[in-house]
Structure 1
């Protein structure tokens, strides 16, 4: 007696598995699209967390992010000054941590 290659129970399990995978991917896309969909809330959250009095900022304020972005885009055009500025941006969190 041979068994059918794909019984209706196997097909139902496969459909459920595909549905669960699709839902997982949908949730991942939603999660990762939130910062892109609401950039002002993200910036507001960074500023509020900086002003909340926590001492562990690790140097990632809005000004540092803007400086890093600017140096990433235009640092090579600035030559030696750009290179020194990039090194300064990289060392700033370490120096700040040593001061505290």
Structure 2
């Protein structure tokens, strides 16, 4: 599995999921597999931002505007989350 995401890659939520906020976390249900996933507050912040498709650059800027984090840490953490979401088929990542 490729462990980097291009800054111009388009990230979009899967159509086969539903989600709900619980306090500052997000519960996401993969409707095809019938499995729930829980996102912490940062993951929830990103998940809500993906209500419309966004580029990796947009997501990184969005996270940096809310959290005090350096570029390298932000990129690594966001990529790790997005690649996990992709592995669970909760998002698609399209390279433009």
TM-score computed with the length of structure 2 as normaliser: 0.31
Q: Which has the higher strand share?
A: 2
- Which entry has the higher C-alpha Rg, 1 or 2? 1
